[in-house]
Chain A
Amino acid sequence: MVSVGQHENIEILSFSEVEEVSGYVGDFKVKVRKKARYVKEELCTGCGLCQEKCPARNIPSEFDCGIGSRKAIYMPFPQAIPRIPVIDTVNCIYFQKGRCRACEKLCPRGAVDFEQGDRILHLEVGTIIVATGFDLFDCTRAPQYGYGRLDNVLTGLQFERMVNSQGPTGGKVVLKDGRVPESVAILHCIGSRDENYNPYCSRVCCMYSLKFAHLVRDTIKAKVYEFYIDMRSFGKGYEEFYERVQREGVIFIRGKGAEVTERDGRLLIAAEDTDLGRKISVPVDMVILSNGLEPRGDAAETARLFGFSRSKDGFFLERHPKLAPVETASDGIFIAGACQGPKDIPDTVAQAGAAGAMALSMMDREKWTLEPSIAQVEVERCSGCGECTLACPYKAIELVEGKAQVSETLCKGCGTCVGHCLSKAISLLHFTDEQLVAEMQGALLELEVA
C-alpha cells in the first residue's frame, strides 16, 4: 500500500464516494464526493500529535472491532495510506459543544481546518476497476451463539485484533475478567453454508480458523476445539497446514456448533458430533465465531451506479464465470476481489492483477471496436413524432430537421426505439425485423419437427 501511495501515476482519493458515472469506455465521466475530513491534506505530515492530545477518548475503535478505543481525531489504522487523520464529527467535542479546538491549537503545521466542506470532483477516465470488498456477517443475526450477549464470545476479527501484537491487548489472549482461557472453541460456518443466512461457502473461514487454533496453541497452550461441517483447505499449502494443526493437538469435532449458553461462569457449546452420531456439549472459556463474508450493504446501489448486475448471492456478476472473470456487462468496467465473491488473499491478488492488466491493455489501444448492432433510421419513413427520443435510455436520438437521428457512439443497441417506432422507420442492425422473423420461422419449424 505504501508503494501505491508513492507511485507518481496513482492518486488516492480516500474518504471519497463515487456519486455518478456516465459516458462510455474510453471516456467515462465520474463524479466523486470528497468528504470533509477537517484536516488539510497538503499540510498534514501524519505526525499523530493531534490524536495524542485529543481529549475525546474511549470511543470504540472500528478497526479493533470495539475491543480497543480511539480518539475523535484518528487514523483508521496505524498503517493507513494516506497518513492523514479524520475528525469524527459525532464524537468531536468542538462539533458537539462548540468548544475545544485542541487539535487546531496544537497542530505544528496548522493543518486542522474546521471550516472544510465536501468537495465535488469531476474525473475523466478511460477504464474503471471496482474493488469495493465485502462486509462480515453480523453475528447478532444468529442470537443462538450469544454474540453481544455473552462475555467471551468473539468474532473472528475481534480475536484477530486481540492476538495481534499491535492490538488493544498487546497480543495477549485474555478473557473479559483478565484471566487466560484454559479452553477455546472455534465455531466454523457462522452465517455461511446455512440456509437461514447465506447458503454459500465463504471460503476463507476454514483457514483463518485453523490459524487461530495454531495461534492459541502457540501462545497460551489452551485446549482448542474446532467445530466444523467440512474442512475446506483447498489452496496451495493449505492441506499441509491443516495436518500441522492436527499434530499440534487441536481437537476437531465434525459437526456444526448449534448453540452457546452460559453455565457456572463457563460457556457451554451444544453440537452434534456427526462422526459419533450423538449430541455433545463441551464447556469452554472462550468462543470464537468464524463469521463469513457478505456483499457490502450498499452493493445494490453500487451495481446500479456502474451498470452491472449481481448474482443470486448479492455479489457483483462477472461477464462469464470462467472466460471473463474480471469483466462486467459494461465495457471498460472491471471488478476485482471479494466484491465479486468471497475469496482469499492469493485469489484477490491474482484477480486484481488480471483486472489491472485488462484495463491497461484496453487503454493502450488507439481504437476501440464498438458493438456493430446500433439503431439506424430510414429517413423516408420517419414521421418525426419523436417517440424514439423519449424511449431511448441513452439520449442517443435527436430530432434533426424533423427527422430522428441516431448518434452512433452513444447508441448501445438495445432496440427500445425500434420497439417503440410507430412508423417502423428505425431498425437495429443485426436484429432487424426481417432477421428476427426469419429466426422465429426457423425456430417454429424446428419445434414442429421435434
Chain B
Amino acid sequence: MYEPRIIGYLCTYCSYPGADLAGTSRIKYPPNINIIRVLCSGRVSPELILRTFREGADGVLVGGCHFGDCHFISGNHRTAKRIPILKKIMEYAGIEPQRLRLEWISASEGERFAEAVREFTETIRGLPPIREILP
C-alpha cells in the first residue's frame, strides 16, 4: 500500500472554484491531490502532462468547464480533443492511460470535484507507483 501522488491542473473559471467550493463546504476528499491553477484547461499541453509523470506524479487530473460554459469560448474543446490522443500515446509508451483523467467540473460542483478525486485516488491506488514504470 502506498500513497499515490496526484497533480490536478484545474482551470481558473470552473474547476478551480469548484475545488474551492468543496473546501469552503467542508467536503472531504483525499489529500493525495495537489492542485495547480491554469487559466484554461486548453493551456495544459501534452508535454506538460508527460513531464508531470516524468517528475514522479502517479496520476494527473485535468479539470475544465462543461461544454458551452468555457469562459474562453472553446478552450475546453481543444482539451477534449487532445486528451484521448495523449492517452493512446501513453498506452503505447507503457504508461497506463487510467493515470490521466479528464473531468468537466463547474464552479458549483464541489461535490462532483470531491467525488472525482475520491474515485481517481482509488483508481491510482490500484496501479503500481509510477517510479516502477518510469524509473
* Residues of chain A with a CB closer than 8 A to B51's CB: 437, 440
What does DSSP make chain B's interface, helix, strand, loop or mixed? loop
Proximity string of chain B (1-33) to chain A, C-beta cutoff 8 Å, 1 when within and 0 when not: 001011100000110000000000000000110
Within 8 Å by CB of B7, from A304, A412, A416, A444, lies A444
A412 in contact with B34 given A309-B106, A312-B109, A443-B7 (CB within 8 Å): no
Query: Are A307's CB and B42's CB within 8 A?
Result: no
User: Chain A: which residue is nearest B68 at the CB level?
Assistant: A304
Q: Is A419 a contact partner of B45 (Cβ separation < 8 A)?
A: yes
- A418 lies within 8 A of chain B by Cβ: yes
Contact between A393 and B109, CB atoms less than 8 A apart: no
| Residues in chain B near residue A443, CB distance under 8 A | 7, 34-36
Q: Cα distance A310–B107 when bound, in Å?
A: 8
Q: In the bound complex, do residue A309 and residue B107 qualify as a contact, i.e. CB atoms below 8 Å apart?
A: yes
* 8 A Cβ contacts from A260-304 to B: 300, 304
- Chain B, residue nearest A439 (CB): B36
Cα of A311 to Cα of B79 in the assembled complex, Å: 23
Question: Is A424 at the interface (CB under 8 A from chain B)?
Answer: yes
Question: Which one of B31, B40, B46 lies within 8 Å of A415 (CB-CB)?
Answer: B40
Chain A interface residue count, CB cutoff 8 Å, equals 38
- Whether B57 and A431, one on each chain, are in contact in the complex, defined by CB atoms closer than 8 angstroms, is no
Q: How far is the CB of A418 from chain B (nearest CB, A)?
A: 6
C-alpha gap A313/B48 in the complex (Å): 35
**Do B78 and A444 touch across chains, with their CB atoms under 8 A apart?**
no
A416-B43 contact in complex given A393-B73, A450-B31, C-beta closer than 8 Å? yes
User: A393-B74, A437-B51, A441-B55 in contact; A419/B7 too (CB < 8 A)?
Assistant: no
- Bound-state Cα–Cα, A448 to B31, Å: 11
Contact A373 B39 (CB under 8 A): yes
Q: Which residue from B7, B42, B78, B82 sits with its C-beta under 8 Å from A440? A: B7
Q: What does the 1/0 interface line of B98-131 toward A look like (CB < 8 Å)? A: 0000000011110000000000000000000000
A309 touches B78 (CB 8 A): no
Chain A residues engaging chain B, CB cutoff 8 angstroms: 300, 304, 307, 309-312, 317, 329-330, 373, 391, 393-394, 412-416, 418-421, 424, 428, 431, 433, 436-437, 439-441, 443-444, 446-448, 450
Q: A307-B71, A307-B73 are in contact. List 16 more A-B contacts (CB 8 A).
A: A309-B13, A309-B65, A309-B71, A310-B108, A311-B107, A311-B108, A391-B42, A391-B78, A414-B39, A415-B43, A416-B43, A416-B72, A428-B39, A440-B51, A447-B34, A450-B31
12 contacts between A and B (CB under 8 A): A300-B68, A307-B71, A317-B107, A373-B39, A414-B75, A418-B45, A419-B45, A421-B45, A428-B39, A428-B43, A440-B57, A447-B6
